[in-house]
Each structure stands twice: as structure tokens, then as C-alpha cells.
Amino acid sequence: MPLERVEVSGRIFELELPEPAALLEEAVVGERAGVSGWDPYWGLLWAAAPVTAGLLLRAAPRAERCLELGCGVGLVGLAGLAAGLSVTFSDQSGAAVAASLGNAERNGLAGAAGLVFGWDDVPAVPGFDFIFASDVLYDRAGHEPLLNALQHLLLAGGVVWIGDAGRQHAEVFARSAEGRGWRVRLYDERLRPLPRPQQLQYRLLVLDRLSAG
């Protein structure tokens, strides 16, 4: 498998990436099994991931139980591990979770676990006080399942970070979240408040709930 070295805030992470043919084959198998919305692109390193990883390295909140949603190859979760967090990688693709766990081992990072599930079929597991994700808002059809998953998985008083590269659907997601009782704050790549983000400008969406709701 191809190896890629990625520098994040002065730290080098070595990632093993899947072959493109393997991704397409996995997508075909998923579609034949009747799994809707299968994403064959989890093995790509998406634009917002290195930025979100850098924010985690520099300013990760203190948390006991942390979950990465849509982990892909795991770069953001690796940054969480490097920041001293205990991270559970999760994805609907078992291959993605396995790749993330393998990359954690490759980089000498301990404290990782894995969960395989889709956002519309959340497992009954203990909750998490910090949930993070990156590049997961590109498809509007996934917004409601994502919000449902967050509601089930986030502990009272917990926080959610979602990094986005400035795609148009991020604003739609933020409005939907606010309509369901979430507080949404936006920050730039330096964790400065971002009241009026521009299209294609990185933003970190920080979500929390002041009540169980």
C-alpha cells in the first residue's frame, strides 16, 4: 500500500493509504449488499483533515472518552492520540477503522480503539465527552443522520468539533443543528472566531448542548 508522510504543526505522521482499486471494490461490495450511501473515498486525505489535526495537536480539549466520526485513514484521530487523548476511531467502513488503527500503531501511538457503524445505526455504547470529525458535511443527505448520531453519542456537557474546508453545505448543517437545539460556533484555522466565513475558507464548527434535549 502507498505510504504518505504528512506534517502537522511540526509533527510528521506516516499514513498507509489504500490502493484506489481496493476502495472501488469495497464500494461495489457495499452496494451489492444493499448498503446505501456507501462512500468509496474514505481512503483519500481530504482537504480539511490536516488543518483539523493541527488544531487538535495545539488545542484539544481535555476529555476522557473521545470519538472520531468518519475516520477514513485516521489522520485527525492520530493527532488526538498525539495530544494525549484516548481515541476511538469510527467509520461505516471496517477497512477504514482497520486502516486508522494500523496507522496509529505505525506511528507508535497508544490508546486507540475502533467501532464500525453507520450514522443511521448507532450502537448502544457508553457516550463520549469529545467527538470530532473532518470533511463530513459535503452531502446534505448525511446531515440529519449525523445530528442524530451526535445526539445519541455525546455525553451531557460534551463538545463536538467538525472541520470543514468551506463547502456550501456547512452553513446548511449549522442552521439545521441550531434548529435542533445545538449551539454552533465557528472558528478559523487559528481558533479565532469566524463570524462571516467565506466559501472555500476553512472553518471549525464547535457544537455543544446546554441541556440533554
Is there a domain that residue 113 lies in?
yes
What is the pTM assigned to this prediction?
0.91
> Which domain range does residue 107 map to?
3-208
Is there a domain that residue 128 lies in?
yes
Query: What is the residue-level pLDDT of the chain in tens, covering all 213 positions?
Result: 678 999 999 999 999 998 877 666 766 666 666 655 556 678 888 899 999 999 999 999 999 999 999 999 999 999 999 999 999 999 999 999 999 999 999 999 998 999 999 999 999 999 999 999 999 999 999 999 999 999 999 999 999 999 999 988 999 999 999 999 999 999 999 999 999 999 899 999 999 986 544
Is there a domain that residue 213 lies in?
no
- Asked if 109 and 47 touch (Cβ cutoff 8 Å), the reply is no
CATH of the domain at 105: 3.40.50.150
Q: Residue 9 contacts by C-beta under 8 Å, 6 or more apart in sequence? A: 53, 54, 57, 58
Is there a domain that residue 48 lies in?
yes
The total of structural domains in the chain comes to: 1
